[in-house]
Amino acid sequence: MKVVLIKELEGYGNVGTVINVKDGFARNYLIPRGIALPATEPNLKHVQSILSQKQRKLQKGKEKALALAKKLEGLVLEVKHQVGEKGKLYGSVTSAEIAKALAEKGIEIDRKKVALAKPIRDVGIHTVSIKLHPEVEVQIKVDVQPQG
């Protein structure tokens, strides 16, 4: 039986892929769980329209991310943190602190988009990656200074 996938199925394909599977697997597993639809002409058109909508949505998101990336380019963000002896921080600067500092500058970014390669535990300037979109990533400088 030919079916068109409406959800990704590991080992079989991605959304929109037409696959040939055994009748029982399609009727008893794929179709009832909403993973696939029978590969009829109306169903194929429906899946194609869903894919084109997703593509347009991704493109809009990418355009917004590129605009935000231009705002962030060359930004040096100042973060104050408690410091112990020898310039070591108590704890570390987290992605939540960086997101909060960006919000204070008027740039709203989810903390999950701040990608720290390793925890920031020293005073000084550090480079931090921000993943705004799967295809858009920007680097900012974070200047960690002693508090008080």
Do residue 106 and residue 56 come from a single domain? no
List the beta bridge partners of residue 143.
78, 125
Residue 148 vs residue 133, higher pLDDT = 133
- What is the residue range of 117's domain? 69-146
Do residue 56 and residue 110 come from a single domain? no
Give the residue from 62, 85, 106 where a domain finishes.
62
Task: State the pLDDT at residue 53.
Answer: 92
* φ, ψ at 37 (rounded to 5°): -130, 155
Do residue 81 and residue 102 come from a single domain? yes
Task: State the pLDDT at residue 27.
Answer: 95
Condensed to tens digits (0 to 9), the pLDDT of residues 75-116 reads 899 998 888 877 788 888 889 999 999 999 888 999 999 998
Give the integer Cα–Cα distance in Å for 142 and 109.
15
| Cβ(34)–Cβ(15) below 8 Å | no
Find the helix or strand (DSSP H, E) in which 62 lies.
helix 41-72
Task: State the pLDDT at residue 130.
Answer: 92
Do residue 78 and residue 136 come from a single domain? yes
* CATH for 9: 3.40.5.10
Task: State the pLDDT at residue 117.
Answer: 85
Q: Evaluate if residue 74 carries a pLDDT over 90.
A: no
Do residue 80 and residue 50 come from a single domain? no
Find the helix or strand (DSSP H, E) in which 55 lies.
helix 41-72
Give the residue from 34, 62, 90 where a domain finishes.
62
Do residue 57 and residue 7 come from a single domain? yes
* CATH for 111: 3.10.430.100
State pTM to two decimals: 0.67
How many domains, in total, are found in the chain? 2
Do residue 81 and residue 128 come from a single domain? yes
